[in-house]
Structure 1
């Protein structure tokens, strides 16, 4: 059964643009001078991530999601991991559908990590190494039940999710191609395709968010679609966009008649280690129109039941989808992040 929430409030467009400049940045090539530093100066929290949808079973998806320095934002903060201080606490999610017991861990930045200040080499305990500079990156993990070795080549196609005034918060995602292998219980599986390489940085303020979801769909060998919906207090719409980009296209963003509805939730509530309570989606649909008011894309999704905790303070998983994109039939395995603390 679908669930109803309070009416959503959309802030006037000029107000959005005064607070967040990211909409004006999209469609431009990635600036190679963009910083990817670890926490420093006014920035007390940074995020590095690699997200891969549409993997073969039993994996379904892979995300390498790191947070260095715990954010003030309640729904993204892992308070239970802090042993010394917020800025000394990092966490890493190695998320796939197989869900090994060591997929999520916390670390002391000082004692457990080796992080080069410009972000060119990041080592989190014995769990993850993410290294390289634009456009060539390398992610690997060894000595575990689940391991991988992936070469990642970034394009200049970038989705700018947030660029808040006064540099309060920045977040972007590069369209990348990857190739390598996943290893589970000693068996290696060759993989290749499209993924994202992401970076975010924030100062130590509490941005009030009650709901967040992020989807990645690889439509074909060249084209990738991203969906973001973020709601604040009183269901204020902070962002609602579908980003489209391709190997040979800097892409566009769309929000015309955006609709996302959960039709059925999982029967049991999920309680995070930090005490947040939420229901995760089981079946859902979403759609968006183009600038002429015609249907651009619609998707019906069925969650694979593989949500893993550690997407900051929420969950990441995958879903099977069918739908249409620019009039053509599509299907595949999408990637989803989900976090919802609204009463329901």
Structure 2
């Protein structure tokens, strides 16, 4: 049985553009003066992220997902980590398929972290260090079963996911290149390729999100595809988009013909540390058309069953895929984030 998330409520593009300006501000170079500050003023929650898809086994994927200050959004909040206050609570996921026991942790911003206000240095206890300014960053972890040392160089190719009116919430992603090594139990593996550097900031409001998935596929050594689907109350569509970009092209946003269908879920529902119940996909497919109504990309994916908790209040992992891109066959290992608190 397939589960295509039917019965969705789609608001007109003109109305959505009044609420979210991101569709109006795409395919433009990244502004190097864009702020990546830690929580301040009205922005009580910020997110830093780096995602590395298409890694060889046993890793499959790597992500650094950092939330400083817990949001009000139920789907993203880790209430169980809060010991003093939401703004004093940070959480860090270092996710990869080897799934070491210390991959997800919560920290006191005041006592456990060293955070430079402009985001140029982020240290979370002895867990992870990310430092640098656009376009050069360095991520390092040592003293654990799983460690790494990675140099990341960002391009000016940016995907603007969200720009809510009044600056209530903003979220964007840069296409980056990286090189370095992963170290698992003393064995080092050299890695290089395309990754992302991401930043979000939000004010202290609750948004009625019920479902969220974010997926990354590196088509080749130059081209990256991002998928986003977000649903709100009553299955209302907040966003259903595919972003395409490459090292030499600012790319575009594609929405027509978007369809994500789950053919099979994992047999058992999971209960998160916050008591949320959700199903994770095992076999699924997705597609979107280009601006001429021709299929741009079609994907048949199967989970590697390596989901790790800590993607905010949900899970991140990887999947094997086969499909087509502009009519040519493709295959590889994709990256996937999945949060779903709907009852069905």
TM-score when scaled to structure 1? 0.99
Show the counterpart of 2:146: 146
Inter-partner Cα distance in structure 2 for 1:279 and 1:21: 32
Q: How does 1:92-241 map to 2 (within 5 A)?
A: 92-241=92-241
Show the counterpart of 1:22: 22
Inter-partner Cα distance in structure 1 for 2:4 and 2:112: 44
Unaligned runs of 5+ in 1: none
Residue 24 of structure 2 is aligned to residue 47 of structure 1: no
Show the counterpart of 1:12: 12
Inter-partner Cα distance in structure 2 for 1:60 and 1:228: 20
- The Cα shift of 1:87 comes to 0.1
Distance 1:119 1:247, change over 3 A: same
Show the counterpart of 1:244: 244
Show the counterpart of 1:261: 261
For residue 10 of structure 1, give the secondary structure of its aligned residue in structure 2.
coil
- The Cα shift of 1:108 comes to 0.2
- The Cα shift of 1:25 comes to 1.1
Show the counterpart of 2:340: 340
TM-score when scaled to structure 2? 0.99
Inter-partner Cα distance in structure 1 for 2:48 and 2:131: 11
Cα distance per residue 1:96-118 (max 9 Å; x no partner): 00000000000000000000000
Show the counterpart of 2:33: 33
- The Cα shift of 1:24 comes to 1.2
Show the counterpart of 1:305: 305
- The Cα shift of 1:2 comes to 2.5
Unaligned runs of 5+ in 2: none
For residue 293 of structure 2, give the secondary structure of its aligned residue in structure 1.
coil
Inter-partner Cα distance in structure 2 for 1:250 and 1:295: 20
- The Cα shift of 1:227 comes to 0.1
Inter-partner Cα distance in structure 2 for 1:159 and 1:13: 18
Is contact 1:6–1:234 with CA below 8 Å preserved after alignment? no
- The Cα shift of 1:5 comes to 4.7
Show the counterpart of 1:67: 67
- Superposition CA RMSD, Å: 0.7
Show the counterpart of 1:290: 290
Cα distance per residue 1:140-171 (max 9 Å; x no partner): 00000000000000000000000000000000
- The Cα shift of 1:248 comes to 0.2
Is contact 1:308–1:316 with CA below 8 Å preserved after alignment? yes
Cα distance per residue 1:293-341 (max 9 Å; x no partner): 1111100000000000000000000000000000110000000000011
Inter-partner Cα distance in structure 2 for 1:308 and 1:75: 16
Is contact 2:316–2:338 with CA below 8 Å preserved after alignment? yes
Is contact 2:212–2:339 with CA below 8 Å preserved after alignment? yes
For residue 132 of structure 2, give the secondary structure of its aligned residue in structure 1.
strand
For residue 75 of structure 2, give the secondary structure of its aligned residue in structure 1.
helix
Inter-partner Cα distance in structure 2 for 1:24 and 1:186: 48
Inter-partner Cα distance in structure 2 for 1:8 and 1:65: 29
Is contact 2:4–2:261 with CA below 8 Å preserved after alignment? no
- The Cα shift of 1:343 comes to 1.1
